[in-house]
Amino acid sequence: MSASTAQATPSSPDPGPEGAVAVLPVRGLGEIREGDDLGALLATALRPMDPRPGDVLCLSTKIVSKALGLRVGPAEREEAVRGATVRLVARRLHTHRVTSVVQIASGPVMAAAGVDTSNAPDGPLLLPEDPDACARRLRRALSAALGVEIGVLLTDTSSRVWRVGVGDIALGADGVAALEDLRGGVDADGRPLTVTVRNLADELAAAADLVKGKASGVPAALVRGVAGATAGDIPARDLSRTGEDDWFRRPSLESVWVALGLAPGQEPIARMSPEPVAERIARALEVAAIPRAGGPASTAVVRPRPAGEETAPIVVEAADSSAEALIEAATRAERIRTALRAESLGAPLPPIDVEIAVPDTQEDPR
């Protein structure tokens, strides 16, 4: 179909007043199966919508995964998460399941590496390793079929640091000005903009999710009327802070555990929900007792605390009165103090003293 034919479609949505933005659900795709020609299916669904330059197609990455057959059996889910992990960020216990929050190959940090079981009755779905490349192939196919250049975003649901709830973000992009650099311009009052770089791709993805989503059965939306949306071509990979730009490589607890010398496999798993004081103190003692990677266990021991006395001193007893044993006890005590401070970052613990004791080595005169 030529561009002129597409523009003449009588059922085309009214573009509305100047400056208005329209978010249009893409219907009629049906259930996507492995091996389906997704580009052809999308082109058929888009033709009645009169796609035009400047439009951006926002597409759930899940249906790309379905078409590519990126599926594993339920028993293989955890192994799939490990295989997709580039870097472990945190692990959290929720009811009886441990959720791993990890960085994936394309850059984003995702819970369970984005391996998803919702709307996946045949088994968990994996994310494509290179979503930008998938977006590029789809955009080329749509351009050839429709005779018009539109932008393409692959989106997925994610939570955000310091925000409650989830929203859609862009995992893959082609033909979209994913980042809009406003530095050098001025605000409405004429003040210069010096730091503002707008994440346009994520804003488009979130807007599209208002008319699509897990429960609606609509996996795609066309966003129309956003000025400059296709005025550049920035891959979604550039939207992730990685390496030296990553301000939050590990959460607070895990950062302290790393500083204490724990290897990833030695780290305990905190719960997602608030934890009792006694549980957090016990974890701090556990962390302090773990030898540094490759090092020997401490010769100092921690005396059992009286049951129920959460503010009782923690007493670290040296193995004997030698200088080496005292140094070991002091080191263990300082590790405990540090681990307790880490547990206090999220919610304060009651004041707890950490004391060092030396065993009585005098012989019994009897």
Q: Longest C-alpha distance within the chain, in Å?
A: 109
Domain boundary among 215, 245, 275: 245
User: Mean pLDDT, to the nearest integer, of 137-145?
Assistant: 97
Number of domains in the chain: 2
The fraction of the chain above a pLDDT of 70, given in percent, is 91
What is the residue type of 69? G
Residue 365 lies in a domain: no
Domain boundary among 182, 210, 245: 245
What is the number of other CB atoms lying within 10 angstroms of the CB of residue 142?
23
Confidence band for 186, pLDDT divided at 50, 70 and 90: low
Contact yes or no for 221/58 (Cβ under 8 A)? yes
Residue 32 lies in a domain: yes
User: Mean pLDDT, to the nearest integer, of 61-89?
Assistant: 94
Helix, coil or strand: residue 97: strand
Rounded distance between C-alpha atoms, residue 89 and residue 87, angstroms: 6
Helix, coil or strand: residue 58: strand
Quick one: 61 and 184 in the same domain? yes
User: Mean pLDDT, to the nearest integer, of 183-187?
Assistant: 69
The whole-model pTM stands at 0.82
Note the pLDDT of residue 10. 35
User: Mean pLDDT, to the nearest integer, of 274-281?
Assistant: 93
The answer on pLDDT for 189 being more than 80 is: no
The answer on pLDDT for 267 being more than 80 is: yes
Residue identified by tokens 């640091």 is 161
Contact yes or no for 104/113 (Cβ under 8 A)? yes
Rounded distance between C-alpha atoms, residue 168 and residue 15, angstroms: 24
Note the pLDDT of residue 114. 93
Residue 181 lies in a domain: yes
Listed range (5-14, 69-78, 181-190, 340-349) with the worst mean pLDDT:
5-14
Residue 362 lies in a domain: no
Note the pLDDT of residue 334. 97
Quick one: 75 and 221 in the same domain? yes
Note the pLDDT of residue 361. 60
User: Mean pLDDT, to the nearest integer, of 291-298?
Assistant: 84
Residue 262 lies in a domain: yes
Strand order in the sheet with 151-159: 22-25, 220-224, 56-60, 151-159, 166-174
Quick one: 193 and 258 in the same domain? no
Confidence band for 2, pLDDT divided at 50, 70 and 90: very low
Give pLDDT tens digits for 239-265: 998 888 888 888 999 999 999 999 988
Between 83 and 294, the higher pLDDT residue: 83
Domain boundary among 217, 245, 273: 245
Give the end-to-end CA distance of the chain in Å, rounded to a whole number: 106
Quick one: 314 and 223 in the same domain? no
Confidence band for 1, pLDDT divided at 50, 70 and 90: very low
Note the pLDDT of residue 16. 59
What is the domain range of residue 332? Answer: 252-357
